[in-house]
Every structure is written in C-alpha cells, then in structure tokens.
Amino acid sequence: MTRERVVIDTNVLISGLFSTTSTPALALEKAVTKAQLVATTETLREPIEKLLLPKFDRYVRRERRDALLQRVASLVEIVDVLQHVRASRDPKDDKFLDAAVNGRADVIVAGDTDLLDLNPFRGIAIVTPADYLARDT
C-alpha cells in the first residue's frame, strides 16, 4: 500500500512540536509514522526561522527545538516547485498549495481558515489536525 503524502502547515507543525499530547502533536505523529511528509524548501524554512526566535525560549530549550526540527527535516521529502499556485486569500499560504500540488500530496493538514476554505483543492483534501486524525490511512 502506498503511503499517504501529507503537507503540514507551519502553525500545526509548531503547535505539534510544543505539546506531545495536543491534537496537532498527535496529527504530526500520525503523519510521521504512517505517511510521507512533503515540503518545499520554503515551507520547511518557515518553521525553522520561527522556532529560532527568542520568544520560544521560555517554552522549550533551544537544543530541544533544534533536535525536533532535525527529526522532522530528516523525514520530509523536499519537492521542487515547478508549478506555482495562486489560490489562497492570503498569498503567504500559497506555498503550502505549491508543496501539495508539486509533491502530489493527498492531504494538507492546516489550522488556517484561508487554506481550510479551499477544501478540496485540485483533489487534495485540506483538513484540520482533528479531521486528519479521524481519517483512515
């Protein structure tokens, strides 16, 4: 059986890294263990840059954040963007659509309503972390 291909948006990824029992964390764990994570260099760079901000020091030590990011990065298939997508109300969210379309993703896991309102997009499901957990995969 082919593994489902999944794009995770930045907010879900960051939320999932901070709390091991939260719904985003459980969705991230499911994606890591049962699916193939797909990203572009841009969608992978964004959470790395955000998690390096000092404001996160009070929640999780820098070393722990680095280790978590390295784990996620080692599991992600990086895809080239050959086709740019312009569909979201928020142009900053188009990078996740780029990753999904170019990476032949089955699903985008997002907490952003600008992305969720596009569900489905070109046959790609766009779901919340809770809905992703409820999916059969």
Residue 17 has what pLDDT? 82
Taking the whole predicted model, whether its pTM rises above 0.85 is answered as yes
Residue 1 has what pLDDT? 64
State which amino acid sits at residue 122. R
Rounded Cα distance, 112 and 136, in Å: 22
What domain count does the chain have? 1
**Environment class of residue 50 by beta-carbon count within 10 Å: exposed (0-12), middle (13-18) or buried (19+)?**
middle
Tell me the mean pLDDT per 10 residues along the chain, length 137: 92 87 94 96 92 87 85 92 96 97 98 97 98 90
Report whether 114 contacts 88 (CB < 8 A). Answer: yes
Compute, in degrees rounded to 10, the torsion defined by CA atoms 51, 57, 60, 66: 40
Residue 137 has what pLDDT? 67
Q: What are the two backbone dihedrals, phi and then psi, of residue 84, each rounded to the nearest 5 degrees?
A: -85, 140
